[in-house]
Amino acid sequence: VFFSLSPQLAFVAPSSFQMVCLLVASALVWLASVVTTEAASAGAAVVPAAALAQRGPTRGWVEKGPAAAEEEVELIFALKLQNTAELERILEHVSDPSSPDYGHYLTKAQADHLTAPRHQDVDIVERFLRGRPFHVTSEGSFISCRLPVHAAEAILGGRFVRMCRVAVGSQDESKESCMLRNPTAAVPAALRSACGAISPLDEPLPPGDGCDVALMPRAGA
């Protein structure tokens, strides 16, 4: 079932919950891309990045103003995968008792190699990072980079804001949790086309206490 929804999900380490959320969010980005296809084909310079994804549930979350220019944010680029149809075909065979390949599951390394993104797409992301240090995992499927908010805004457009909420049932604002989001981002078309999703742009706000990821301490804490 995982493969029919997103082949990459089955090979994400259990501790990488943020990446799982990011991949689920990529479905919302796909819907947004359908809306903007006509504009892109007409030569539009930018594509609205997170407008659709960040219209999800925000119950309990309140915008608390812009993020500080020097505050750090981690960007995670989930690049578009290749050979997903072949991966689904392999899954069907290894799951079919009548197939000679039954039970011969791929290792994570094999799956990463099969679905590795195009070198051109990796190059696009690296070019937009403009020489900043970055970390690559899963044969280039994920590229992450920590950088100041002002630098992230220069790459992605828009402005980062702090979205905050107090734990359900608590009136103690010292227990407030905050996350950075950029609802006004306008990602360059070349960068958007290379990625299936970009965190935190396409990462929905957690719906409840049990799903919080990437929480930041309250300013001054």
Tens digit of pLDDT for each residue in 15-26? Answer: 344 444 454 444
> Residue 126 — pLDDT band, cuts 50, 70, 90?
very high
Please provide the average confidence, as pLDDT, over all residues in the chain.
Answer: 75
- Worst-scoring range by mean pLDDT, 61-65, 74-78, 152-156, 173-177? 173-177
Taking the C-alpha atoms of residue 144 and residue 167, their distance in angstroms, rounded to an integer, is: 29
Instruction: Out of 39-43, 116-120, 129-133, 145-149, pick the least confident.
Output: 39-43
In eight-state DSSP terms, residue 210 is G
Q: Give the pTM.
A: 0.67
What does the buried/exposed string (b/e) look like for 152-167 if buried means 16 or more CB atoms within 10 Å of the residue's CB? bbebbbbebbbbbbee
For the residues of 43-100, what is the DSSP string, one character each? T-SEEE-STTGGGS--TT-EEEEEPPTT-EEEEEEEEPPS-HHHHHHHHHHHT-TTST
* Residue 172: per-residue pLDDT: 62
